[in-house]
Amino acid sequence: MADKKILIVEDNAIIAMETIERLKRLGYLISGVAATGHDAISLAASARPDLVLMDINLKGDMDGIEAAQEIVSAHPIPVIYLTAYSDEETLKRAMASRPIKYLVKPYRERDLYTSIEEAFRNQPGPPVPEIPAMARRFIDCITDCGDAIFVAGQDGRIIFQNQKAGLLTGLTLDEIRGRILTEVVSVSAPDPEKKKGLSGARGVQTPPCTLQSAGGKTIPGCAAWIGGGREPHVPGVAFMVFWEKDGDGP
């Protein structure tokens, strides 16, 4: 996966360099390299990697298993153990800390790639907020609306789209749920000279914007926050209506 950052925890400098080169060839970014458990914990907190490759046998008073437990308890980061030792006791300790994967050195680059991708695929997404009862009643009324309508929670993540919105985005409700609304509907910065008159019959109209479909198509249009802006009459959620540029907007 592009743009995924990986933290390498390895006390052997040569192996660390080899791992860096492997990850770069596979298209990953390196968020840092740590040689001790304590350094790994500090880097995980500051660099916020998407995944940690953890050597179990580290120098110092903390091994990789202890470091991984500290990291995971503070941040929901998947960990893959890399070790030259596969004795039963080490394996039991490693598995008890519930890593994503356990690779024994030397491992093939293909196995490393497969393990990393599996870790990202199995990583749980952000929790979907429950739709308030008032919003649910409103949603029942807009499902068949001719305009595309999105409903977002307080964190800005989509919790509902109506049928028209699904046709434009090319995504099912399950596929789009949890995505940031403003990443799907991109709003241009308002022109200071044109700020007046942005309110329309449908609510508070935004400047011209575009909708990004799953197929990569950019659809120009306009949008409005229903009910008076980002804090509409239904607490806890925001409703946005989008219509194509050639549509019947206000």
pTM of the model: 0.52
Let me know if residue 148 belongs to a domain: yes
Asked if residue 67 is part of any domain, the answer here is yes
> Residue 39 belongs to a domain with what CATH number?
3.40.50.2300
pLDDT in the model for residue 196: 39
Question: For residue 249, what pLDDT is reported?
Answer: 44
- Distance of alpha carbon 170 from alpha carbon 239, whole angstroms: 19
Domain count, the chain: 2
Of the candidates 122, 154, 177, which is a domain's last residue? 122
**Contact indicator for 48, 31 with CB cutoff of 8 Å:** yes
pLDDT at 181: 87
Phi-psi region at 237: left, alpha or beta (left = phi > 0; alpha = psi -120 to 50):
beta
Which of 122, 145, 179 is where one domain is finished? 122
Which residues have CB under 8 Å from 19's CB, separation 6+? 8, 10, 53, 82
Decide if 114 is inside a domain: yes
Name the domain boundary from 122, 156, 173. Answer: 122
Per-residue pLDDT in tens (0 to 9) along the chain, 250 residues:
557 999 999 999 999 999 999 999 999 999 999 999 999 999 999 999 999 999 998 988 999 999 999 998 888 889 999 887 667 777 777 777 766 778 888 889 999 999 999 888 877 655 555 566 656 666 666 666 778 888 887 778 888 888 889 899 998 888 888 888 888 888 654 444 443 333 333 444 556 788 888 777 888 888 887 644 444 445 567 788 888 876 444 4
Which residues span the domain enclosing 169? 133-244
Q: Report yes or no on 127 lying in a domain.
A: no
CATH of the domain at 215: 3.30.450.20
- Quick check: is 84 in a domain? yes
Task: Please tell me the predicted confidence (pLDDT) of residue 71.
Answer: 92
Model pLDDT, residue 3: 78
- Both 52 and 106 in one domain: the answer is yes
Q: What is the pLDDT of residue 54?
A: 95
Q: Are 199 and 227 in contact (CB under 8 A)?
A: no
Residue 118 and residue 32 share a domain: yes
Residue 249 lies in a domain: no
Whether residue 128 is contained in a domain is answered as no
